[in-house]
Amino acid sequence: MAERFDVLFEGLSEESSLKILLSDPRDLPNPVDKYMAATRLAACSSEESLQGLISAVDLDPEDLFNRITRRKAIEALGRRKDVQALDCLFKALEFDDEPSVINAADSITQISAPLTESQCDSLLQALKGSDPQRRSVIQAHTRLGLQSGTPFIQTLIHDENPLISGAARAFCARVEGDLDQLKPLIPQLNDLQAGRRRSAVIDLGDAGDVTMLDYLIKSAVSMPLRAKSAFQLVDPGKKAEVPEEHISTITSLLQDDPRSLSLRDEWLSNQDPIEIENNLQHRDEGKQYGAALSLLKMTRPQQIEMIDGIRSRLWSDYGANYLLTSLIGLGSIGEREELIKTSLAETLPQYAKSRVAAAWGCLRLDLKDQLGLLKSISTSSKWVPLKWSCSQVLKQFS
């Protein structure tokens, strides 16, 4: 997902980024530029930039800006996917800075190279950290298919923290083939706590059992997170190709109609415009979808009045932008079709999910004047949910 934000750093050249990356933060007018430089170098491909990122892993962590830059460099090395980075990443597993350890485990996973027995032992040792660190390291074992961690990880399926037990269950399902371990994750998809719902969605994607797809897509968590796990299950090669038997399910997921989700009564809004607007901005997606459902049940004049008011105050907020774009399409509110067109044309990466909603909105509102843009996005987008959505809309238009 981070690749979608590379455009935000295009103003930094590779040469200047390398210079800033290893500079003393006290010598920089804006020390924040150090970790922005690390993020910029993740999108580069030269040997010099790779070595610069490897060197940044040795920055003195006593300085806050160095410490954050080190974390960003570790993250960037995962995106570079070069085995030359493995030595420094395994060294980072021993840091006393938890975010660095978590980033290192994730980057080792992204590089996805065969590991030595010693490296497997080092990764196993990292399971001794805090719960967030343990979850990340279990995920690394799962995604790399490492059986070396089996004896210990199997003991964690009954851990009191569902984020640990869920990750351990995903490991047992994917690496050991014990699919029965996934059953407790199904009710967790409807948990009152948003974090537990999100972790269950991630764990089911990691587990690799496509029979969990129908449960996963109905969870009240963000569409991009559900889409990431769903595409892991049906399109592991990231080719934006979905088997015929799963097309209707993935379509339902990406159209993201709150009427098709499993929503608890606690998340539903009254028909009060203030409550609906507040809940559309809530941090818990359950509340957001509950508010969206209430808006869909309003009369057309009420819907338009609500959309116009929220647009005037919150259109630049990418969460509200997405929900409004989605609701206009789902409600077939042709009076506001210009907002669909505006969202589809938005190229800033934080609005990518709005473009997904806009693509499906074009189909519902029969906006054939957008065919050229839909075709362009279907061939140029790197984000699979957006690319696939535009391709499917084009097929249904033809």
Residue 318 · residue 352 · CB < 8 Å? no
Is 95 strand, coil or helix? Answer: coil
The reported pTM is 0.93
Residue 35 · residue 69 · CB < 8 Å? yes
Superfamily of 1-113 according to CATH: Leucine-rich Repeat Variant (1.25.10.10)
The vertex-363 CA angle with 361 and 366, nearest 5°, equals: 105
Q: What are phi and psi of 281, to 5 degrees?
A: -100, 5
Tens-level pLDDT at each residue, the chain (398 residues): 455 444 445 567 999 999 999 999 999 999 999 999 999 999 999 999 999 999 999 999 999 999 999 999 999 999 999 999 999 999 999 999 999 999 999 999 999 999 999 999 999 999 999 999 999 999 999 999 999 999 999 999 999 999 999 999 999 999 999 999 999 999 999 999 999 999 999 999 999 999 999 999 999 999 999 999 999 999 998 888 999 999 999 999 999 999 999 999 999 988 889 999 999 999 999 999 999 999 999 999 999 999 999 999 999 999 999 999 999 999 999 999 999 999 999 999 999 999 999 999 999 999 999 999 999 999 999 999 999 999 999 999 98
HSE, side-chain direction, 13 A CA sphere, residue 52: 27
Q: What is the pLDDT of residue 5?
A: 46
Q: Where are the domains of the chain?
A: 1-113, 265-397
Q: What is the pLDDT of residue 75?
A: 98
